[in-house]
Amino acid sequence: MKRRHLLLSTLAAFSATALLSLSVVPAQAQGRDPSRLRVALLPDENASTLIQNAQPLKKYLEETLKKDIELIVTTDYSSMIEAMRFGRIEIAYFGPFSYVLAKSRAPEIEPFAVGVERGAPTYNSVLIANAEGPVKSLNDIRGRPFAFGDQASTSSHLAPRAHLLKRANLDGSKDYQPVHVGTHDAVARAVQAGQIPAGALSKAIYDNLVARKTIDPSKLITLDLSDPIPNYPIVMQGNLAPALKEKIRAAFLEMKDKEVLKSFRVEGFVATNDRAYDILRDTAKVLNLDLSKMK
């Protein structure tokens, strides 16, 4: 009788534990629904300028999502990737190649929207030179320093580096000296000042720097434009609650306010997915870049 009583008690305890675990699983499956969302902006220009220009975005997201919004600009692309990887931000505006690097380290993150410029979800890198310097064509870059932005930048490193190899047979490992100066505006400033004879940055950012009179286009010449590049994606954490994901997705895809869109230098957003960025993975292979070793 004692053994039977012990068996029944054990079964009862097991049943209670099983029911408790079943009640917990659905709650876990619902995902995270934080009251505050941390939104990271791409660190391609001065941080205080980016935060200031993105205040209309902050207001729009707070009103649309009914959440507190914290805008974040990390020190560089690498720290932004790590912040996404370890869940320190919920939404991020990545460069195309920095997204590819982030996805390789955090497979659960999800790209869901991409900016549209001039009717297309693509943009270009512009290769520039100092107007009074020694570089007048791509061939003149041979044997000289060339300014890139962050190592994980698409339009200020990956795309122009591939362009130089394809169009002028210039290999960055032996034919010229790559100099990473950090941000896109730092590239433009360094070339304009003659500190480095030539460099590359996003065409959209270049145009914006000219419009703001941050740089003087008369002191620079355009050497070439890269092939079209898949535009910057908006990415979110995969472990967010499905309902919250849908609200975030709709907030960007339905974004119409020009002041808000100005934060991203785009006309609007359309849906995207991870496959759209396979072309950048292929480009990295052409350049013999090991994604696992890039910062």
Element (H, E) at 93: strand 91-93
CA-CA-CA-CA dihedral for 177, 293, 72, 146, to nearest 10: 10
Residue 39 has pLDDT above 50, yes or no: yes
Tokens of 262: 């100005």
Q: Which two tokens stand for residue 54?
A: 């993105």
Task: Examine the pLDDT at 3 and tell me if it is beyond 90.
Answer: no
**pLDDT digit string, tens, across residues 251-295:** 999 999 999 998 888 999 999 999 999 989 988 888 887 776 665
pLDDT in tens, 105-134: 999 999 999 999 888 899 999 999 999 999
Q: Which candidate, 162, 151, 287, places its Cα nearest to that of 229?
A: 162
- What string of DSSP letters covers 169-189? ---TTTTSEEEE-SSHHHHHH
In this structure, of 20-24, 125-129, 148-152, the range with the lowest mean pLDDT score is 20-24
Q: Using CA atoms in the order 133, 138, 139, 140, what is the torsion angle rounded to 10 degrees?
A: 10
What per-residue confidence (pLDDT) applies to 44? Answer: 80
What confidence category does residue 146 fall into, taking pLDDT thresholds of 50, 70 and 90? Answer: very high
- Summarised one tens digit per residue, pLDDT across range 195-236 is 999 999 999 899 999 999 999 999 999 999 999 999 999 999
The model's pLDDT over 53-87, given as tens digits with 9 standing for 90+, comes to 999 999 999 999 999 999 999 999 899 999 999 99
The pLDDT value recorded for residue 46 is 85
> What values do phi and psi take at 128, rounded to 5?
-125, 165
Closest C-alpha to 109, from 98, 125, 120, 121: 98
Give the pLDDT confidence score for residue 29 in this predicted structure. Answer: 52
pLDDT confidence tier of residue 42, bands split at 50, 70 and 90: confident
How does residue 24 score in pLDDT terms, banded at 50, 70 and 90?
very low
pLDDT band at 23 (very low <50, low <70, confident <90, very high): very low
- pLDDT at position 293, please? 65
List strand residue ranges (DSSP E) for 121-249, in order: 122-123, 125-130, 145-148, 177-180, 198-202, 220-225, 229-230, 233-236
